[in-house]
Amino acid sequence: MTQEWTVTIEPIGREVLCREDQSILDACLRAGVWLPHSCTHGTCATCKCEVVDGDVDHGEASSFALMDFERDEGKLLTCCAKPRSDVVIEADLDVDEDIEMYPVRDFTGTVVELTEVAKETVRMVVEVDREIAFNAGQYMKFVVPASDGQPEVDRTWSIASPPSEPRRLEFHIRNVPGGRGTDGWVFKDLAVGDAVRLSGPYGRFVLHTGQDNHAIMVAGGTGLAPMKAMLRHGLENGAYEGELTLYQGARSREWLYDVAFFAALADEFDQFTYRPCLSEETAEQVEAAGEDPQRYGYGMVTDVIAADHATLSGCKGYLCGPPLMVEAALKTLMARRLFPRDIYREEFFNAGDKGGGVASPLIKR
């Protein structure tokens, strides 16, 4: 029989039962106790907490995210740590009162769409077995089946559909050569009609609907997924009163997707502006291909933002995509007088980045 231990979360004094084979974060989220987290894979250090009392197994926590001296000092990563006795932890419970956090639950689903939408990118739609409550911008954790002698692993992908569609979840997935979840599953064996196992919702990169600031959203690659959920929720469901501007960056048009969808959304809602940006394709090339070159911005997405805005004072920023793009966009927004506290961000990393000392990743590979 699996041993259960009591985890006490300070400063709220809440007690949660946690199995010895279960992470402290998982037990808390399933009990409706929201703890800070991002990657859930021991890489980003967002969930780092203080052990006040008790013993834990640190599991697969990255030595970059949780250094040896920190373990000696009584720190842990709740996404990896498993209890070996009753445990008391002290966490930074900085929860936005305007956002309702929903308990993590297990779901089964059926793949109802798997469509190539851009180069090495598919749209996957999953019909889940019951309704799920989540915030626009959150993500789900999928179980990748055992294959070729390798055990089950989990991979996380952001929900691209709004909370008003609680049974039909959309995901955008970029292929990574050699990746267990992408190259070895989604792009290899997965097909429409297949059953999948998933859990969620996870994450704190969400649309802050209690605000009405002009929101500058910057998406690179499949970092578009949570932005699409936020925009659809904010516009179609009337959840956001301020202006919304989406900058979607890609090297060329073959890497862009949902351009027509967002252009139509901009035509429908006056509060929304859409700016697709091409870093390696020129206006002359676009025109030669028979498209309107004025439809796009040119150069790095950060260059387009800088040219569009002399100042961003009073705005809010939402950044999601590859880490280099997110870091560059962060610097650009700050240079336009946007404070770090007003910028929400989430970098997308691959599983291979786990040993590299990275910040705030979702493991996508």
Q: Where are the domains of the chain?
A: 4-90, 105-202, 215-348
Q: What does the pLDDT look like over 50-63, one tens digit per residue?
A: 999 999 999 888 88
Task: Yes or no: say if 158 and 139 are a contact pair by the CB < 8 Å rule.
Answer: yes
The torsion angles phi and psi of 349, rounded to 5 degrees, stand at -115, 165
Beta-carbon contacts of 158 under 8 Å, excluding residues fewer than 6 positions away, are 137, 138, 139, 171, 172, 203, 222, 225, 226, 229, 320, 362
**Sign of the dihedral through C-alpha 179, 183, 185, 187:** positive
What's the distance, CA 78 to chain centroid?
A: 18
Backbone region of residue 290 per phi and psi (left: phi > 0; alpha: psi in -120 to 50; beta: other values):
left
Per-residue pLDDT, 351? 56
- The terminus-to-terminus CA distance of the chain in angstroms comes to 34
Q: What does the pLDDT look like over 100-120, one tens digit per residue?
A: 889 999 999 999 999 999 999
Q: Does domain 215-348 have CATH number 3.40.50.80?
A: yes
Backbone region of residue 20 per phi and psi (left: phi > 0; alpha: psi in -120 to 50; beta: other values):
alpha
Query: In which element (H, E) is residue 319 found?
Result: strand 316-321
- Tell me the β-bridge partners of 28: none
User: How far is it, in rounded angstroms, from Cα 331 to Cα 290?
Assistant: 35
Beta strand ranges found along 36-191 (DSSP E): 48-53, 56-57, 75-77, 82-83, 87-90, 105-118, 121-128, 139-144, 153-158, 168-174
Torsion of CA 187, 191, 192, 197, to 10 degrees: -90
Q: CA neighbours within 13 Å on the CB side: how many for 80?
A: 23
CATH value of 105-202 in 2.60.40.10, 3.20.20.70, 3.10.129.10, 2.40.30.10:
2.40.30.10
The class of domain 4-90 in CATH terms is: alpha beta
One pLDDT digit (tens) per residue for the chain, 365 residues: 789 999 999 999 999 999 999 999 999 999 989 888 888 888 888 899 999 999 999 988 888 888 988 998 899 999 999 999 999 999 987 666 678 889 999 999 999 999 999 999 999 999 999 999 999 999 999 999 998 888 999 999 999 999 999 999 999 999 999 999 999 999 999 999 999 999 999 998 999 998 999 999 999 999 999 999 999 999 999 999 999 999 999 999 999 999 999 999 999 999 999 999 999 999 999 999 999 999 999 999 999 999 999 999 999 999 999 989 999 999 999 999 999 999 999 987 665 544 444 343 343 33
